[in-house]
């Protein structure tokens, strides 16, 4: 019991946060002797129990029951005291551990603040150094840019001067080349004009010679008589033309007679203008007149052909002055152009 009283007095004692870590380790072993003392104190009631049991053998049963109750109550108090001691020890260990953890957290926070402060100071120093380096680099870059700009300006001035000189030289060369080209072109044109004039004179001489030959050939063709030697063929054509002339005169007489009869019939008969009988009669009469005029023109052409047979020039084309084929002269009476010239008309 005395040991349990001491532990009760020591358990509620509090320590400062700085000494909690050290006191927690020193306090933990003390709890073991307290438990041992509690265990040693337990047999004392047993000895008293044995003494009372020896006395009770000679005493009354009532005192034995009271002694048992007192022993049971003592044992219960000891168990409760030991349990309370264990709870106090557990709370003390938990509080010590919590205080140790709090102390460690405080130390860690202080160390973190110190590290952060050193980091901020180092970052500030680095930023200042970086800013200084940036300012120095910007200043150096500005100086380099200024030098480069000045050098580029000088190079540009030199380049422009060279380009201007090159342009002037090129202009002078172009002017000289143009002058030479103009002179060469004038000389070439003069030579070309002379050459063309010579060629034109030659062509004109050739054309004149060809025209003279063509005129001579045309004169020969114009006065040619292709069938003058073939008297039998010409006589045959004369007979055919005379026969055609007589037949044409007979057609003219018939056509004039029919036209006169139609005129007499129209004067004698009364035509109804509504059905167009008079108009049709006039159209037929005009057609007969046109046909008669064509026949008279054919008579004139036959007369021309007969005169050409007399001088031997019949059978020559009036367009190309070439000889008309015998078959065409026999088939068409009269005829004065060849097939080619007739198709070209």
How is 250-275 classified by DSSP, letter by letter? Answer: HHHHHHHHHHHHHHHHHHHSPP-GGG
Beta-bridge partner residues of 323: 316
Which pLDDT score is estimated for 345? 63
pLDDT of 21 over the 70 cut: no
Tell me the average pLDDT across 92-99: 91
Beta bridge partners of residue 316, listed in sequence order: 323
Residue 230 is predicted with a pLDDT of 83
pLDDT of 6 > 80? The answer is no
Residue 20: pLDDT over 50: no
pLDDT at 110 over 80: yes
Mean pLDDT, all residues of the chain: 79
How do residues 245-298 score in pLDDT, each as one tens digit? 999 999 988 888 887 777 766 655 554 444 445 566 677 878 888 888 898 999
Q: What is the pLDDT of residue 11?
A: 42
Residue that wins the pLDDT comparison between 34 and 333: 333
The pLDDT of residue 24 is above 70: no
Q: Mean pLDDT, to the nearest integer, of 142-147?
A: 91
With bands split at pLDDT 50, 70 and 90, how would you rate the model's confidence at 204? very high
Of the candidates 61, 54, 3, the one whose C-alpha atom is nearest the C-alpha of residue 30 is 3
* b/e code 30-55 from CB counts within 10 Å (16+ = b): ebeebeebbeebeeebeeebeebeee
pLDDT at 344 over 80: no
pLDDT digit string (tens) for 151-164?
Answer: 999 999 999 999 99
Q: How far is it, in rounded angstroms, from Cα 81 to Cα 89?
A: 12
pLDDT the model gives residue 166: 93
Distance CA 6, CA 37 (A): 11
Q: What percent of the chain has pLDDT over 70?
A: 77
Distances (CA, A) of 344 to 319, 320, 322, 323, 328: 10, 11, 15, 17, 17
Specify which of 11-15, 176-180, 337-341 reaches the highest per-range mean pLDDT.
176-180
pLDDT of residue 87: 92
Express each pLDDT in 49-74 by its tens digit: 444 444 445 556 678 888 888 888 99
Rounded to an integer, the average pLDDT of 70-79 is 90
| Separation between Cα atoms, residue 285 and residue 258, nearest integer Å | 8
Average pLDDT of the segment spanning 314-335: 86
Q: 6: which strand partners? A: none
For 206-224, the pLDDT digits (tens) are: 999 998 888 887 777 777 7
Burial class (CB in 10 A: 0-12, 13-18, 19+), 270: exposed
């Amino acid at each position: 019991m005395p040991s349990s009283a001491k532990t009760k007095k020591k358990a509620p004692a509090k320590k400062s946060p700085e000494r909690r870590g050290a006191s927690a380790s020193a306090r933990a072993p003390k709890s073991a002797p307290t438990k041992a003392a509690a265990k040693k104190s337990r047999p004392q009631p047993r000895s008293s129990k044995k003494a009372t049991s020896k006395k009770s053998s000679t005493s009354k049963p009532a005192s034995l029951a009271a002694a048992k109750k007192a022993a049971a109550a003592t044992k219960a108090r000891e168990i409760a005291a030991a349990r309370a001691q264990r709870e106090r020890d557990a709370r003390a260990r938990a509080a010590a551990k919590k205080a140790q953890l709090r102390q460690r957290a405080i130390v860690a926070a202080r160390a973190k603040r110190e590290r952060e402060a050193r980091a901020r100071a180092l970052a500030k120093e680095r930023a200042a150094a970086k800013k200084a380096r940036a300012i120095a680099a910007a200043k150096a870059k500005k100086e380099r840019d200024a030098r480069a700009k000045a050098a580029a300006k000088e190079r540009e001035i030199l380049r422009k001067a060279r380009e201007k000189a090159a342009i002037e030289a090129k202009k002078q060369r172009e002017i000289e080349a143009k002058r030479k080209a103009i002179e060469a072109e004038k000389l070439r044109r003069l030579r070309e004009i002379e050459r063309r004039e010579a060629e034109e004179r030659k062509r004109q001489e050739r054309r004149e010679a060809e025209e003279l030959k063509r005129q001579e050939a045309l004169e020969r063709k114009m006065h040619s008589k292709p069938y003058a030697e073939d008297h039998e063929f010409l006589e045959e054509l004369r007979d055919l033309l005379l026969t055609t002339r007589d037949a044409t005169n007979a057609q003219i007489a018939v056509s004039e007679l029919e036209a006169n009869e139609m005129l007499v019939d129209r004067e004698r008969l009364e035509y109804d203008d509504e059905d167009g009988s008079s108009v049709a009669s006039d159209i037929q009469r005009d057609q007969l007149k046109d046909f008669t005029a064509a026949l008279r023109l054919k008579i004139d052409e036959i007369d021309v052909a007969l005169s050409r047979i007399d001088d031997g020039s019949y059978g020559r084309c009036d367009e190309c002055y070439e000889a008309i084929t015998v078959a065409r002269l026999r088939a068409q009476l009269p005829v004065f152009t060849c097939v080619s010239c007739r198709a070209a008309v």
